[in-house]
Structure 1
């Protein structure tokens, strides 16, 4: 396929560190593929002039950004980037019968700008930490959601590089300093998750002989970085779910929301999978599907239909488009309507939770905590409280038996606790 289409422009992209100014990026589009390159400058949007018709992108004359850099200097940099991009395209890609590579274009652009620093390690010549992170992201067998996390991780690491005002390499990345950098303004669990993914990236690099040593091997992760801590999950009891199911709703919308929740709680699937289920997913009273979140490596999930599930599905038979089980609401509207529906059903049990950030107990009513995810947790918890084998429950929720996420879906064994107290205390 001959590469021939080329377009260059500049755009402003928001920076998480500065709300008034935005970063100026060179955006080179080659055969529909966009390559972003940071200019090194920020500017207030009001001072940036864009004339798409004339392809003019420049900072308004006689203005300065907050760093005191004049418009003339920034505009000179933009023209330098524009010209360098065209030279790289003309010399290396135009008219070539080859697959276009964003990484290679960036590398050649940096060389043209005299901004490229090769890693001296023979295993990493021509490729730096960001290029390998992109490679890791693209090749990993993970869900689309996890891949988006990797994209955000790379962007975050680049912002850290800019804050240090020097190129980040495998050799000079201080993971403790980076942990301190990302901790500002983020909750502890989020920081631990980010660092865990970075640790996974370094483990990949060590396994592929990209680096000789994983810096995380030199530290006690739990002591230096921390551990994820989650509140006890909120779940409905079997009697509360029955009460919701039997409550008469005042109109068609609230009745549909009630039925959606009760059916989801009978199937245990994520809302993203739930709203795409079709009658074709059911055969001989068995629901079969592959979870979309983990579709690249997940096993098939099979859930036998309960009597309640069969009644709800039968109620909406032939009333939904495209063969769907029922006329599902969009997940956002579904979640918005759940709290009012729970209030109508008078599901106001007090739920006591601990706020880690504030260090205090918080008391809420169950109706205020109603979400689509409550249905999935309730499915798991009711079965576990009834003493069903964990591996059987996990197979129907799409979790692995030893999954930490699965463990967070279950409450303490309340029924066993009550039996123990009644048997032993009185």
Structure 2
């Protein structure tokens, strides 16, 4: 293994006293060649590649400055040499150099440098949890946002010194730079809190930045869903002129009858159907409870399956992008003349708006249709959860505890 320091030579005249070039460190070994700039800078006219530092005679630079610079180059070279290991990469080199220039971002523990960077610990959290692709993607997006926040505000998120003020600044950054809804900001802040709690459990800090921070609340409103009559109206719509739309219709209505998530829907094969019952482990909870969801299929669902038999190992429904599915659902509802006006919450203004259900429908409407209609008939959240894939005691069911007009009419009839 060999470590060398160098600069990327600039075309500078001999009389140029203002130009500066960053010093790079290069690590080479069998199958490895990585480079990283550090914060040391030097006038290109003063650099000696042979000496790995200042030229022996530079009259315009005092001895103290030259000696300090040269000693820092040697010190970094020595640290890289000592810390090198088989499997090291450019990320390792970048962090090592960063730790040299920012010692306050690290502390010593058991003879080793322990990072105090939130981003680094969030990466460790990600590696430790072994999430599915969706959860991993969400966590990586959070890490990217924190990194961008640090870069733009020149303020590192240190796990020992993060405060409620830092969290408020980060939430403001999300709102202004990403133009996202308050519910999405709440999701990001909740994820940030989860990572901070995990970091504290590792024993590397006692700091709780969320102490004194008022977590904003997500606002969802009352769930809207198709009635059974509307669902069957969609199923009976004439779509013979559009085979692709008809296929999307079958996917959507089947989802309305089993209540699964779209990510699970596209994985089902005939092997998931056992004696007229759909059996599967939801992707979202596979790494947690791993409970098997069993949903008995009604005759209409079985009839849909009869038209989608592509072989035991082939998906019942082809894999389509979710955004394309959502667009198709809205077109299908319009074709079926399912245009009932519903109350929705504008995610940006958080105010109520009235919209035709065909304008706001997504694949999640199918899941709500299954859950909502069952919950109206049987007020047993655990029973419904056993078929929807929700965790036991899920707070999601609180949103379905709405007394509808039919229930009110039935109640009033009791006092006639």
Tell whether the 8 Å contact from 1:88 to 1:105 is kept in structure 2 after alignment.
no
Which of 264, 277, 284 is 1:286 aligned to? 277
1:211 to partner: Cα distance:
0.8
Aligned residue in 1 for 2:201: 207
How far apart in 2 are the matches of 1:240 and 1:30? 67
Matches within 5 A, 1:162-201: 162-183=151-172, 184-185=175-176, 186-201=180-195
Aligned residues: CA RMSD: 3.8
Normalised TM-score (structure 1) = 0.71
Tell me if structure 1 keeps the 8 A contact 2:99–2:105. no
Larger-gyration structure (1/2): 2
- When residues 153 and 102 of structure 1 are mapped into structure 2, their CA distance, relative to the original with a 3 A threshold, is farther
**Offset at residue 175 of structure 1 (A):** 2.7
The SS at the match of 1:126 is strand
1:193-342 aligned within 5 A? 193-216=187-210, 218-219=211-212, 221=213, 224-251=214-241, 252-297=243-288, 298-318=290-310, 322-327=313-318, 329-342=320-333
Show CA shifts across 1:145-179 (max 9, x none). Answer: 22222222222222333344354422332232332
* Matches of 1:175 and 1:34, distance apart in 2: 42
Name the structure 1 match of 2:135.
Answer: 146
Question: 1:350, 1:365 within 8 Å by CA — same for their partners in 2?
Answer: yes
CA displacement at 1:387 relative to structure 2? 1.4
Matches within 5 A, 1:380-419: 380-387=371-378, 389-408=380-399, 410=400, 412-414=402-404, 415-419=406-410
Q: Which secondary structure does the structure 2 equivalent of 1:197 belong to?
A: helix
User: Are the aligned partners of 2:225 and 2:369 in contact in 1 as well (CA < 8 Å)?
Assistant: yes
Question: For residues 354 and 327 of structure 1, what CA distance do their matches in structure 2 show?
Answer: 32
**Mapped partners of 1:144, 1:32: distance in 2:** 30
CA distance in 1, matches of 2:359, 2:291: 34
Number of the residue aligned with 1:45: none
Q: State yes or no: 1:119 paired with 2:111.
A: no
Equivalence for 1:155: 144
- Residues 355 and 361, structure 1, Cα contact 8 Å, conserved in 2: yes
Which 10-residue stretch deviates more, 99-108 or 202-211? 99-108
Give the alignment's TM-score, normalised by structure 2.
0.72
Distance change (3 Å), C-alpha of 1:159 and 1:247: closer
Residues 1-36 of structure 1, C-alpha deviation per residue, up to 9 Å, x if partnerless? xx99xxxxxxxxxxxxxxxxxxxxx99999999999
Q: Secondary structure, in 3 states, of the residue corresponding to 2:283?
A: coil
Given that 1:144 and 1:293 are in contact with CA atoms closer than 8 Å, whether structure 2 keeps it comes out as no
Change (3 A) 1:390 1:349: same
Deviations 1:86-137 (A, max 9, x none): 979984798x6x344666433323356x455453464883322232221112
Count of residues paired in the alignment: 351
Q: Aligned in 2, Cα 1:103/1:341: closer, same or farther, shift over 3 Å?
A: same
Q: Cα gap change, 1:30/1:178 in structure 2, threshold over 3 Å: closer, same or farther?
A: farther
* Aligned-pair CA distance for 1:294: 2.7
User: Conserved in 2, the CA contact under 8 Å of 1:316 and 1:326?
Assistant: yes
Change (3 A) 1:153 1:358: closer
The answer to whether the 8 Å contact 1:384/1:393 transfers is yes
For residues 109 and 391 of structure 1, do their structure 2 counterparts lie closer, same or farther at Cα, with a shift above 3 Å needed? same
| Residue 344 of structure 1: how far off its partner (Å) | 1.6
CA drift of 1:370 comes to 2.3
Measure the CA separation in 1 of the matches of 2:154 and 2:185.
23
Residues 93/38 of structure 1: CA separation in 2 closer, same or farther (3 Å cut): closer
Residue 263 of structure 1: CA displacement? 0.9
